[in-house]
Structure 1
Amino acid sequence: MNKSIYILFTALVLSSSLAGQEKRGYQWIMGGNSVGSGVRMNFNSTQVSIFYEQTGIKMEGSNTSMCDEEGNLLFYSNGCVIVNAMGEVMQNGDSINPGIIQNFYCPFGGSPIGQGVVAIPAPESESLYYVFNLDFDFSYLEDTSFLGVAPQRLYYQVI
């Protein structure tokens, strides 16, 4: 009897964990040229599909994208602006990186910080997401006499 309960419990745990698998990272938007044409990688099937697409924004440095639980693209960002799957700027998604990046990098291709923007679902919500991004600013480190630009602040937006 104990063995039957153990097997049933194990089956329930495994089935619920497999059913709970989400596809939030199944589409990646990358790259971009001067007219906002980039590449989309879609991992929704057994074979990855890669195709060119008008992204509406340049994505030459930082990038992130978010899908729903079914793997449908919801939004993406280049660390300067957050746009929906149709390429339209979202609420709270404009000019997300004030300062040096907004003034000197955003007009020419997006935030240059590698992995400088990340999106995650808000806990306990099916419709809210957090987008975190780093900035650049002038910094001076006394012990190394370094004077230059480096990430100084972490910003976040609720989408």
Structure 2
Amino acid sequence: MLRLKIFIFAFILPVFSLQAQKQGNIWYFGFGAGLDFNNTPPTALTDGKLITDEGCATICDNDGKLLFYTDGIKVWNRFHQEMPNGTGLFGDPSATQSGVIVPYPGNSDLYYIFTVDNNLGQYGFAYSMVDMTKETGKGDVVVKNIPMFTPSTEKITAVQHANGTDVWVIAKPWETTNFTPTELQPKGSKPNLSLVIPGSSTQDLYSIPTATSRHRLWATSWQ
């Protein structure tokens, strides 16, 4: 039987400090499109450099000013220029959540970019880091493509730890019912592949959103 894969464009913001501040106030997505939620009503943006059907992410400072954005493969600064070391990240244009940006706990100048490859792709789940003190404040990728595990599905989400400081980044290995959380702490990432969140399906998933209460994790599939 022929199965039709229908892509539903959805914005799934990580559930952590972005909600209380303005770090999620600008979105770039699709083919040069964007939205600025610093204005009421939000205003359309047409200056973005993204050309993607699927996963992408944008981050602002606490005042809602653009810092950078990514499709999980390239990283553009606030002037819509590619960062000098901001190409060749391990995301994929066909990954539904190709890149997710997470502020580094305890350091406002550093940001993680977590990436996932296409289903069963060789790169799996990995991360890079951006330092906003580089390039006279425009930022650059200073750590690139550190592997976490492979193979993975195309899904990532992030949620703030109950301690209010750390962040859990949650991904899903391929063909397992379990989700694998990684705890981000002020001293760095702390992968713990022995810690799992039980699930009920081995299917590839469309997305992994989390509830604002931080007590629920949903996973959806296109099948």
**Residue 136, structure 1, aligned to residue 118, structure 2:** yes
TM-score scaled to structure 1, two decimals?
0.63
In the other structure, the counterpart of 1:156 is 127
Within the candidate set 29, 36, 39, 1:45 is matched to 39
Bigger mean CA offset, 78-87 vs 120-129: 78-87
Displacement of 1:23 in angstroms is 0.5
Within the candidate set 48, 56, 70, 1:77 is matched to 70
Change in CA separation of 1:151 and 1:134 when aligned onto 2, cut-off 3 Å: farther
CA RMSD between the two structures: 2.2
The answer on whether the counterparts of 1:92 and 1:157 sit within 8 Å (CA) in structure 2 is no
Counterpart CA distance in 2 for 1:76 and 1:128 is: 14
Q: Which runs of 5+ in 1 are unaligned?
A: 1-19, 33-37, 102-110, 138-148
Within the candidate set 122, 128, 134, 2:104 is matched to 122
Displacement of 1:92 in angstroms is 4.2
Q: Write 1 or 2 for the structure with the bigger share of helix.
A: 1
Displacement of 1:134 in angstroms is 0.1
Give the residue type in structure 2 aligned to 1:114: T
Give the residue type in structure 2 aligned to 1:62: G
Bigger mean CA offset, 120-129 vs 55-64: 55-64
Give the residue type in structure 1 aligned to 2:22: K
Displacement of 1:135 in angstroms is 0.8
TM-score scaled to structure 2, two decimals?
0.46
Quote the sequence identity (%): 27
Structure 1 residue runs of 4 or more that deviate by more than 6 Å after TM superposition: none
Q: Which runs of 5+ in 2 are unaligned?
A: 1-18, 131-223
Give a deviation string over 1:50-100, Cα, whole Å, max 9, x none.
Answer: 1322x23412221100000000111001121111111222254210027xx
Change in CA separation of 1:157 and 1:121 when aligned onto 2, cut-off 3 Å: same
Counterpart CA distance in 2 for 1:122 and 1:78 is: 19
Within 5 Å, give how 1:82-101 maps onto structure 2: 82-97=75-90, 101=92
The answer on whether the counterparts of 2:29 and 2:50 sit within 8 Å (CA) in structure 1 is no
Counterpart CA distance in 1 for 2:100 and 2:63 is: 20
The answer on whether the counterparts of 2:68 and 2:77 sit within 8 Å (CA) in structure 1 is yes
Which has the higher relative contact order, 1 or 2, with Cα contacts under 8 A spaced 6 or more apart? 1
Counterpart CA distance in 2 for 1:92 and 1:123 is: 23
In the other structure, the counterpart of 1:13 is none
Secondary structure, counterpart of 1:95 in structure 2: coil
